[in-house]
Structure 1
């Protein structure tokens, strides 16, 4: 950026111009006196002083013109006027005219930029390589770097377009949290949970009522409808609703009590029930069956409640080869007591037992039978 003319800058040029034009009696004359070979020149200058003045003026004009050409981009007119005035005062009008002519010659050239600096060819190649405008790295030109060095240079940065948003890396996917092991599905026909069932002697005694309700089957309309509540002792590895489904499926089977006396069974989870089926631990079974003695091995049907011993429900009986059939017997036998049936005796060796024959520890020689009317349905 060019700055306006100032007295300080003009004074400096004036001082330099006056110093540069001290004439034949100044520094130039002293230098010539020390050189013996210049004596002949002094004699010629003494013989023709006007020619010497003109020659000196031309030299000064050439030097000052070059200087003005280098500085004319800032304050060319003021500098030329001051220098020409100083030369005219010291050397005369002709010398000042020579200075003005040199200024005009310099002014007719390029005023917008100072003379360029020419670099040696090697330096220019290095400058091009550094600035990225020449052959550069990887261009294969004379100034290219060796492949081993070029490969170690960092990759050039690329600027993103103003209209293009920089690509954002997608956020890392969260690591899946370890999920809890799924609960085991209840076994159909029993409601047991898990493959290995542990039988505990005594639990809390708190009963959990199975949620649900269902009317009695229509084909039992001619007989007694028993509203049955179903419960499981808390802490047993049993799904209460799955257990209830197993109980109702047994009670309303065509071979069940409906075929014997027309009884059918509705499911309720309220306290308005006619009969109740409870699955309990051996110790709780003993308590619920009092005053009957179940010795932690048996089940019972007392008053309106059929109490099923969980040990027998889970493990079956040695008198039965099929545990599922034993569970059907257990439900039908104990509910039979609730609806008014007493124990039967085995009719004889090899005979089919009736459902009211005690068949948990032994069948007394009879063939085990879980249904009140085996041939029905």
Structure 2
């Protein structure tokens, strides 16, 4: 399997989905094995301008420039104790967000960012065939795990993927996010690191819903979210989203 790198982002054009109360590459990424989906009739579409999530009592280390970009993790993970509404239509995939202990990233803050990305109207719910729901426990389809480069390498290597301490991968029921990429973005991706976080999530989740890699559609055009942007833009401009705000798919030619 080729390794794809993904970018990401946290500020979603002003869209934030409120979390429930606690219960208890890269510009491309490595392709993954698909998670099992939970069918649903039709679930709530994310509103265009939902109420913002109140700030947590402590600052979110994931957005602090003072946090080390390559810390050593403990190998153990903490699950964000938060639940959200189902967003999108069709097949709803339930997901958890976990953060490796010791890397200085707050699980609750990370879950809020991931949830907002997957609920954004420029994301995969725009196809009206896919939906997502953040859960803290119970049944789930996949986990978004943010971990140190060393831990990401170890877990990705179990599926034969070489992430070289630099990129993300999607393996089994896990979207593995390299904390170095989450904290510092990519040299190929201009703009705020929050945008790159969105690219990471959209690229890896795109693999889970059967999207393969895509190339640049032409000079000056937005790079597809499924493009391995970390390897170069080939004339395209950086972009973190699979769709425009009006629902136009930002795709490109299929590549291996």
* TM, length-normalised to structure 1: 0.47
Q: CA deviation at 1:262?
A: 2.7
In structure 1, how many angstroms separate the alpha carbons of the residues matched to 2:240 and 2:58? Answer: 28
- Pairwise mapping of residues 151-300 of structure 1 onto structure 2 (< 5 A)? 185-186=59-60, 192=62, 194-200=64-70, 202-217=72-87, 220=88, 222-290=89-157, 291-300=160-169
Give the structure 2 partner of residue 178 of structure 1.
Answer: none
Question: What's the offset of the Cα at 1:193?
Answer: 6.0
The 1-side partners of 2:114 and 2:175 are apart by 11
Matched pairs, number: 188
Change in CA separation of 1:280 and 1:327 when aligned onto 2, cut-off 3 Å: same
CA 1:317/1:193 → structure 2, altered by over 3 Å: closer, same or farther? closer
Aligned to 2:199: 329
Cα contact 2:70–2:179 (8 A) shared by 1: no
Higher relative contact order (CA 8 A, sep 6+): 2
Alignment of 1:314 onto 2:183 = yes
Q: Which residue of 2 aligns with 1:69?
A: none
Query: In 2, are the aligned partners of 1:355 and 1:369 still within 8 Å (CA)?
Result: yes
How far does the alpha carbon of each residue in 1:253-306 deviate from its partner, in whole angstroms, 9 at most, with x for none? 011101124312111112511121010000111112121111111111223211
Q: Within 5 Å, which residues of 2 pair with 1:101-116?
A: none
The separation in 2 between residues aligned to 1:259 and 1:376, in whole angstroms, is 9
Report how far residue 251 of structure 1 moved. 0.4
Q: What CA distance in whole angstroms lies between the structure 2 residues aligned with 1:372 and 1:311? A: 23
The residue aligned with 1:23 is none
Unaligned residue ranges in structure 1 (runs of 5+): 1-182
The alignment yields a C-alpha RMSD, in angstroms, of 1.8
Q: TM-score w.r.t. structure 2 length?
A: 0.68
Instruction: Write the distance in 2 (CA, Å) between the matches of 1:346 and 1:249.
Output: 26
**Cα distance in structure 2, aligned partners of 1:272 and 1:361:** 36
Q: Is the 8 A contact 1:184 1:193 kept in 2?
A: no
Helix, strand or coil at the partner of 1:308? strand
Distance (Å, rounded) in 1 between the aligned partners of 2:123 and 2:167 = 22
Partner Cα separation in structure 2 for residue 293 and residue 201 of structure 1: 20
Q: Answer 1 or 2: which has greater helix percent.
A: 1
Alpha-carbon contact 2:82-2:108 (below 8 Å) kept:
yes
Choose between structure 1 and 2: higher strand proportion: 2
Report the Cα distance in structure 2 between the residues aligned to 1:243 and 1:212, rounded to whole angstroms: 11
**Which consecutive unaligned segments of at least 5 residues does structure 2 have?**
1-56, 248-256
Q: Which has the larger radius of gyration?
A: 1
Q: How far apart are the structure 2 equivalents of 1:238 and 1:319?
A: 23
